[in-house]
Each structure stands twice: as structure tokens, then as C-alpha cells.
Amino acid sequence: MEDKHRKEYFKDYYLKHREEKLIYCKRWKKEHRERARENNKNWKQKNSEKVREYNKNWQKEHLEKVREYSRNWRQKNPEKVQEYNKKWQQENKEHCRQWRQENKEHRNEYCRQWQQENKEYYRQWRKEHPDRVREQKNKRRQLDFIPLNKPFNGADAHHIDEKYVIYMPREVHRSIYHSVTKNINMDEINAVAFNYL
């Protein structure tokens, strides 16, 4: 019974002196910044499950704020975003490949729509990056097309080098990411391609 009265007393005391306590806590945190940070860090480590649950609920309740904050952060830190995305894609290659395959139509439609909605930006980008535009246009023009086997239903034409092409099944061709112009993974894909001669 005594414990119950003590709890009620402290609760009442806290509620009556809440403003004073908050002012005192703020002042203490300012004066003892390092210690406050350390205490906060330790508490979060000990109560990681509580913190995770609280954050999850808070984000659900304040979805617009979270989106706005994320949008602003991404705009201010494009290098970090790009680095993170690159790392994630490297670690999840199979997932990315599968997603691209399953959402090919959606991606193409999105790109077309984006280009239509942002015609001015797209034109401007092409003016500012003529070398990139030229590189993209010439990429296919530089490659000759001399087939070494006959095409068949569901086949992709795979360039084993800048001249010669081997027809192979589309799924197999797309199973290994490669680039003949940048010489990425060409040994691996060519080893598979020679099986179809």
C-alpha cells in the first residue's frame, strides 16, 4: 500500500513541477553535452526493441513529415544517395535483375512518361551533356553484326566482341550482366555463349 502512495505522490509531484523539470533537464544537457549523449546512446542500446517500435509507430503516424524529410535529405545529399544505391544494387544483384525483368513494361512506360513531362529538362540535359548523348548513340553503331550461328525463337544476339554475334536464349543472355564496350563480365558470358555454336 505504501508503494502505491509513493508512486502517486511522485506522479503528482512530477506533474506539478513538469515545466521546472524540463527547463532543468535542458540546461543540464547543454552543460553536460557529452555525458547526455553517452547516456542517450546507452539507453538506446539497452532498449533497442522499444526504440525500434516507437520509431516505427511514429513514422506511420507522421508519414508526410517522414516523406518530406527524406525528400529534402536526398536532394541535399545526392552523392550519399548514389553511393548507397550503388552498394545496395551490388549486394542485391539477383533481386534487381528479377525486378527489372518483372517490371519491364512499367519501367519503359515510366521513362516515356517522365520524358514527356520533363521535355524541357531532358532537352537541357542533352545540350549540357553532348558527349554522353553521342556516346549512347554511337555505342551500337561501333559494333558490327556478323552472326556465327542461326537465329531461333526466343533468342538474343550476343556480341562476343565488337564484330561477331552468337544467338543464345534470352534468359541465359540476361542471366549475367555484361558490357562489350566496357569489357565487363565478357569472359563469363562468352564461355556460356560458345555452347550455342
Instruction: Give 147-176 pLDDT, tens digit per residue.
Output: 899 888 888 888 898 888 899 999 999 999
Cβ proximity of 148 and 164 under 8 Å: yes
1 occurs within a structural domain: no
3 occurs within a structural domain: no
Asked if residue 139 has pLDDT above 70, the reply is: no
Asked if residue 136 has pLDDT above 80, the reply is: no
**Residue 135 banded pLDDT, cuts 50, 70, 90:** low
Considering the entire predicted model, what is its pTM? 0.38
59 occurs within a structural domain: no
- Say yes or no: 82 and 121 in one domain: yes
**Residue 108 banded pLDDT, cuts 50, 70, 90:** confident
- The Cα–Cα gap between 75 and 73 comes to 5
Asked if residue 141 has pLDDT above 70, the reply is: no
Tally of structural domains, the chain: 2
What integer pLDDT is reported at residue 126 of this predicted model? 84
- The Cα–Cα gap between 61 and 53 comes to 12
38-64 per-position pLDDT tens digit: 988 999 999 999 999 999 999 999 999
136 occurs within a structural domain: no
- The Cα–Cα gap between 158 and 160 comes to 6
Least confident of 2-6, 19-23, 112-116: 2-6
175 occurs within a structural domain: yes
30 occurs within a structural domain: no
Q: Which domain holds residue 171?
A: 143-196
38 occurs within a structural domain: no
